[in-house]
Amino acid sequence: MAFPRPFPALMLLFVTVVGTLGVSVAQRPPNILFILADDLGWNDVGYHNPTMKTPNIDRLAEEGVKLNSYYMPSICTPSRSVFLTGRYEIRYGLQHGVLGHYQRRCLSLEEVTVAEKLRERGYATHLVGKWHLGFYKDGCLPRQRGFDSFFGFYLGAEDYFNHDSTMQGHHGYDFRRNEDDVSRQYLGQYSTNLFADEARNIIRNHNPAQPLFLTLSFQAVHMPLQVPKQYSDIYNGVFGKNEDWKIYAGMLTSMDEAVGNVTRALRESPMWDNSIIIFSTDNGADAKFIGSNWPLRGAKATLFEGGVRGVGFVNSPLLHPEVRGGMTNGLIHMSDWFPTFMHLAGGLPTLDKPLDGFNQWDTISRGMASPRHEILHTIDSQALRPVDRGREKWSTNPYFDVFTLAAIRVGDWKLLTGPAGNDSWIPSPESGYEVINLKKLYGKVVRLYNIPNDPYEHDDRADEYPEVVEALLKRLGEFSQQTVKPNYPGVIDVIYGNPDLHNGVWAPWG
């Protein structure tokens, strides 16, 4: 599979006339609609796999700029924290696992969010959908972290219709408007539709004189597999007798319809000429259950490309005409949205803590080279360590513990250490391809790939380029000195967090 060709270099000649063409960032801050899908795989959109019916997403991507080298953490909570803070998850201890129902932790209250800073610049800030950054005490909640309003749920996953979830034998409801209004009137209504309707209402009722920052964080296409039947019926006969895939594909098409409805509302509003739409996944597909990152290797919760390289694009009338319909191969990371949004809002504010993100607006809107040459995918010292540690020649290096789960990209090279996790190439069933698994052939815990030449991570080059391995281990060692120990207390508050003590609702207890 060949990747699309990048922007033509000649397009850079046009940047001097951007202002006269009327496509530069407007004098007033632009409206920002950030759409976040959950566990969406590389192969699960129509413009990568025509089996999937996502015409609205496809059209937005084809008319905008596709982000072909777009990266994020491999699981939900770290990815969302990096988006909001512009800082790697190792900076505040959220690199291990996702936030559980009973855990007494959340995104560190010492971290500043992009919503807070945009609100300081005069933006109206709204969050619709999934939070998953902690809720054990009031200070952790969305409206305490920069959002004017919140409509959605706190947990990582729940029933799409009943909006409830069970943990440790305890059952509770989780759907609300802001903190106090537990919205039981939505019981039985599909969350994808509810979130789209709320986002449309926000857009339609917004005062266009005030800049808008709207984050639409879909529950889809995360487990459980649930969708109204009219969407799964679209795929009758496509996946044979595999009902799970039929439902999953229906969830994709339902979300696509919702994306179309929301973006149509923005296009029809007086705000459109000064608006930017960003579409992103939070990580790769959880292919051990459902979804496909084919032809990328690996899945959610692994550091192979299938876990950390995601679907993303930008659509806006503020893009230069020469980049529309194209794509960029420049490295872009989830942490880059914070400084990019702040640039669009008038400039990066003074911050107490340094950002790991870069302003990518020129990369996206004008085809300039990315300012980013390095991505730390993660360092997780609490991840399960390999049992067999006798065959790794780098085990005694002085720079970094190679049995620690970690990965880093510098330039063309990507180094992975520690346990591989799901290292398969997993296609969707209609393709006719077989799952490819090399785990039985792999005993190594240090792997090196040249991603531009080998985007599917077939050829481990660690033995051929020991000098590159050494340099990247040194860099991991430098990052490890800056790493906060993972804050992962386990399930500790089964008693106090029990929904039975909170009128049957998952709610703060700390």
Active site (catalytic) residues: 76, 132
Q: Name the H helices within 157-221.
A: 191-205
Question: Does residue 235 contact residue 250 with C-beta atoms inside 8 Å?
Answer: yes
Strands 332-333 and 212-217: unpaired
What's at 221, amino acid-wise?
A: V
Q: Name the H helices within 183-276.
A: 191-205, 229-232, 243-267
Check the CA dihedral 438-442-445-448 and report its sign: negative
Question: Does residue 151 contact residue 195 with C-beta atoms inside 8 Å?
Answer: yes
Count of alpha carbons within 13 Å of 285, Cβ hemisphere only?
A: 28
Name the nearest CA neighbour of 341 among 36, 115, 110, 131: 115
* DSSP one-letter code for 479: H
Check the CA dihedral 131-362-47-435 and report its sign: negative
Cβ-based neighbours of 163, under 8 Å, separated by 6 or more? 153, 173, 174, 175, 186, 187, 191
CA 6 to chain centre: 23
Burial 171-181 (b: 16+ CB within 10 A, else e): ebbbbbeebee
Question: Does residue 102 contact residue 500 with C-beta atoms inside 8 Å?
Answer: no
Element spanning 343, H or E: helix 337-344
Q: Residue 12 corresponds to which tokens in the numbers above?
A: 């850079």
Whole-number Å distance between alpha carbons of 315 and 330: 17
Whole-number Å distance between alpha carbons of 82 and 280: 13
